[in-house]
Amino acid sequence: MLTKIKEAAEFIKKHISGFQPETGIVLGTGLGGLVDDIQVAHSLPYESIPHFPVSTVEGHSGKLFFGKLGNRMVMAMQGRFHFYEGYDMQEVTFPIRVMKFLGIKELYLSNASGGVNPDFEIGDLMIINDHINHFPSNPLIGKNIAELGPRFPDMSEAYDPEMIGKAKKVAHALGIPVQEGVYLGLSGPAFETPAEYKYMRVLGADTVGMSTVPEVIVARHMGISCFAISIITDLGVPGKIVKITHEEVQHVAALAEKKMTMILKEMMK
């Protein structure tokens, strides 16, 4: 795996001619529009990069963007890989490994999720301050590569307290209300039954979703600081559960996108 990561990173380095990214961004749900704010210096389609996972969705290949956002040199992933698509945990997190070899020190991620905290409303933003890995696996299973990180990485501060503090300040200054809480990551792709939402709440979750946790585990393994934010697109709260579709999730996310983008942009200043 190490050889593959290094080959991918070397290939990218050759194509970005000296550009040095310091901040990584996974443009998940709610942050798609942020790409328009990046002064793009280079972009690379995933399929051109050796060993990068190949997109399963036809005509929907992802892209890496390199450029300036605020006063940061960033590299942004447009399109992420989900476990439910059939990628294994190493494939899902491969781009994060490559980011480390390109010099990324901090990582920003976004996602959509279902709120199980009864105080949440559809359209709320939630700063993730901790997670529960409810995926059936962990991306660090297998022989540990010491050059990447320790066998048993600490996860006591998976989400960087300073970045959380800054996000709260920024959101307050912008007049954007934000929730804060625990994200439970699971495989999907079926949404949860009412009994499952109730179970997730009992486990300690505020919200549940199908991404982010594998990427954060791998980033922390390599010592990258993480910040993640979620859009509550539906509610798994007794009495408030209604039928949901992917389209509704996308619709709610699009409405909240502006708020999320503003917070992220301000954090980059």
Residue 206 touching ligand HPA (CB under 6 A): no
The set of residues, in sequence order, having a beta carbon less than 8 Å from that of 245 and lying 6+ positions away, is: none
In angstroms, the first-to-last Cα distance of the chain is 35
Regarding 191 and contact with ligand HPA (CB under 6 A), the answer is yes
Q: Given candidates 233, 259, 264, 267, which one binds ligand HPA under the rule CB under 6 A?
A: 233
CB burial of 142-163 (b: ≥16 within 10 Å; e: otherwise) equals eeeeeebbeeebeeeebbbeeb
* CB closer to ligand HPA, 159 vs 197: 197
Q: Is residue 210 within the footprint of ligand HPA (CB under 6 A)?
A: yes
Cα gap 29→261, rounded to integer Å: 11
Q: Which stretch in 42-50, 93-101, 173-181, 185-193 sits in contact with ligand HPA by CB under 6 A?
A: 185-193
# residues near ligand HPA by CB under 6 A = 13
* Minimum separation from the CB atom of position 7 to ligand HPA (A): 34
Does 257 interact with ligand HPA (rule: CB under 6 A)? no
Query: Cis (ω within 30 of 0) for the bond into 21?
Result: no
CA distance 71 to 28: 21
Rama region for 123: left / alpha / beta (φ>0; ψ in -120 to 50; rest): left
Asked if residue 208 binds ligand HPA (CB under 6 A), the reply is yes
Write out the binding residues for ligand HPA, residues 75-114 only, by CB under 6 A: 112-114
Nearer Cβ to ligand HPA, position 40 or 241?
A: 241
Residue ranges in contact with ligand HPA by CB under 6 A: 112-114, 188, 191-192, 208-210, 233-234, 236, 249
